[in-house]
Structure 1
Amino acid sequence: MRALLVVNPAATTTSARTRDVLIHALASEVKLEAVTTEYRGHARDIGRLAAASSDVDMVVALGGDGTVNEVVNGLLHDGPDPDRLPGLAVVPGGSTNVFARALGLPNDPVEATGALLDALRTGSQRTVSLGLASGTPGSEDEAVPGRWFTFTAGLGFDAGVIGRVEQHRERGRRSTHPLYVRQVLRQFVGEPHRRHGLITLEQPGQEPVDDLVLSVVCNTAPWTYLGNRPIYASPRASFDTGLDIFGLSRLSTMAVARYGTQLLASSPERGPRGRHALSRHDLTEFTLHSKAPLPFQMDGDHLGLRTSVTFAGVRRALRVIV
């Protein structure tokens, strides 16, 4: 088997020595070529070249969720076809590694490499669904190109938190869980639309749902982690179904205390509930509109401001070695 290893040298939890060990371990099982990313978007470009090549059977992403997202978007540049595309494998190297952990991989890169080697020896793989977000026809964001996401997207509050975290990272701060918690609190204090949200959910054949403050689109569960604690905003979300959405129409102090507690106590059997909570499962297509530009994120990557985003849940979009 011929494999291409995409290495993010800035990955949070791997050192150069660790990466060398992982490369040697993988090279013992496959014919391996390693490429180190040099700029933002480089992993996407590498994935696109791999998808167009007949010489690559598997692409391994060594990095965090951002690296994985770029590789996936490169592989799917011309659309999904799991029988034609190289398989994707993931070795977690970021601070949270939601996609890898949702696949059942260990969070430690060495242990995850061992699990990948076992999967290669046994031929273990699966196909997963993905989300696709694009500009809504007729809106001012119509020209925004489509982009794939592996586990989550969000318009509004959560994307604002991610934007704040990225600002700190650009100033040299590490992406840690305490940093995220502090930015959640600061985003809450600075949120001007806590009681009357700007977001409307539209589904074909359904009545619109207005005044959402928070909207998190999930392609799997858990949605994220707080340390080692999994968070299940949409417990039924799965790589085998369409998209789920979790929304809140109020972020008052009492609402945050209630739903924050429910999120911390969430499980595969029970997620947040209440009269200000919205939950939809297994959606194929829907749109989120906002009355004003709001922060937008995909797989933990802040993508600027949007007023309208159309989502599609695409089943069996990608083959994963796991």
Structure 2
Amino acid sequence: MDRRIKLIFNPHADNGRGWRVASALQATIEQMGGAEWTSTEHPTHATDLALEAANDGFEVVVAIGGDGTVHEVINGLMQVDSERRPMLAAVPIGNGNDFCANVGIEPDPSAAIQRAFSGEPKGLDIGMVTDASGRTEYWDNSLGIGFDAAAVIHSQAITRLQGTPMYFVAAVKTIIRDHHAPHFKIRTDSEEIDNEFLMITFCNGQREGGGFILAPEARPDDGVLDYAMVEWVSRLKMFRLIPEFMRGTHGRFKEVHLGRFRELELEADRPLLIHTDGEIFANSTSNVQKLSVQVLPKAIRLLV
């Protein structure tokens, strides 16, 4: 039976070049049975469109864009009761495309779109973060505190590069300009941690930032979240760690802590920079110092 499919397209994806990709997909989509298109007009619009699609009874919602588009679509779908929640498909046309890489979706958009029509659903874990004010956000790939959140902010000002080179330059800028290590008290379902950290990243997938393998053992359907925490180190040592992050070999350094959890509570001694899937959750003026994080096992049905 044909699926009722809603396509949510971000025209600004890939630095505005997404229109060319979307046009090329039209013929394939029509050949496979057709779908209803809609495009985003402003930040967070994909969240509203995904919620609207769920309430209108669509069986599948397709995020056509980068990691930010997938993030917004998932935040819309998660506002719907699980029994009414549409299945998710994704077509990668962004800068990093980490989500699609982590879940095994082809980088070729024409191949990826076919999963919306003929793919089989597979359970996808989702992360949930809540701050002290009760504000909640869902994330599919990674949540970063400190270093990599600052790198996300720096990357937004880089327009001549894409993907891994862009995030590499942003990481270098962060080492030079944002070398801070707040003191954290962290409690998970299995351990307590009290230390100063330059970087804390919670991972549902192995990679972020267009190819930095922060959690080599992470799996997006194993019912747990992975973490990578880097204690205070010198700028020189942080430069040394960057290629290790890219290869996924950073766990051999004593200043790097890798682990897993299902639930976590965190408190810092100062306001934090935080991103969720590359979208800023808290900046320097947000005054967020306390968080709770948990995994929602197989909360989304992903077509693969």
Q: Same fold (TM over 0.5)?
A: yes
Checking the alignment, whether the CA contact within 8 Å between 1:3 and 1:30 is kept in structure 2 is: no
SS of match in other structure, 2:84: coil
- The aligned residue for residue 44 of structure 1 is 47
Residue identity matched to 2:51: R
Worse-matched range after superposition: 245-254 or 33-42: 245-254
Shift of 1:25: 1.4
Percentage of pairs with the same residue: 25
Q: How many residues align?
A: 296
Deviation at 1:8, TM superposition (A): 0.5
2:178 to 169, 172, 191: 191
What letter is aligned with 1:232? I
CA shift in 2, pair 1:225/1:183, >3 Å: closer
Write the distance in 2 (CA, Å) between the matches of 1:192 and 1:19: 40
Q: Does 1:53 align with 2:62?
A: no
Cross-structure match for 2:138: 148
User: Which residue pairs with 1:319 in the alignment?
Assistant: 301
Unaligned runs of 5+ in 2: none
- CA offset at residue 204 of structure 1? 4.1
Tell me the residue number matched to 2:231.
249
Q: Offset of 1:209 from its aligned partner? A: 2.8
Instruction: Check if 1:239 corresponds to 2:229.
Output: no
Instruction: Name which of 111, 118, 125 aligns with 1:129.
Output: 125
Task: Identify which of 5, 8, 12 aligns with 1:6.
Answer: 8
Whether the aligned pair in 1 keeps the contact of 2:67 and 2:278 (CA below 8 Å) is: yes
Deviation per residue, 1:296-320 (Å, 9 max, x gap): 1000112233312210111011001
1:247-274 CA-partner distances (Å, limit 9, x unpaired): 01123134324432422332xxx65222
How much has 1:95 moved relative to structure 2?
0.8
- 1:107 is paired with a residue of what secondary structure? coil
Contact 2:8-2:46 within 8 A present in 1 as well: yes
CA distance in 1, matches of 2:273, 2:18: 32
What is the alpha-carbon distance in structure 2 between the residues aligned to residue 25 and residue 186 of structure 1? 42
For the structure 1 residues 35 and 274, does the alpha-carbon distance in structure 2 shift closer, same or farther, using more than 3 Å as the test? same
* Structure 1 position 11, deviation (Å): 1.1
TM-score, normalised relative to structure 1: 0.84
- Give the equivalent residue in structure 2 for 1:103: 103
The answer to whether the 8 A contact 1:246-1:278 is kept is yes
Cα deviation per residue 1:37-87 (whole Å; 9 max; x = unaligned)?
111111000111122222x110111100101110100011145x2x43111
Equivalent residue for 1:310? 292
Q: Paired residue for 1:301?
A: 279
- What corresponds to 2:257 in structure 1? 278
1:76 aligns with 2:61: no
Kept in 2, the 8 Å contact 1:234–1:271? The answer is: no
- Correspondence 1:263 to 2:245: yes
CA RMSD in angstroms comes to 2.2
2:165 to 178, 203, 206: 178
Structure 1 regions of 5+ residues with no counterpart? 136-141
Query: Is the contact made by 1:129 and 1:313 (CA closer than 8 Å) also made in structure 2?
Result: yes
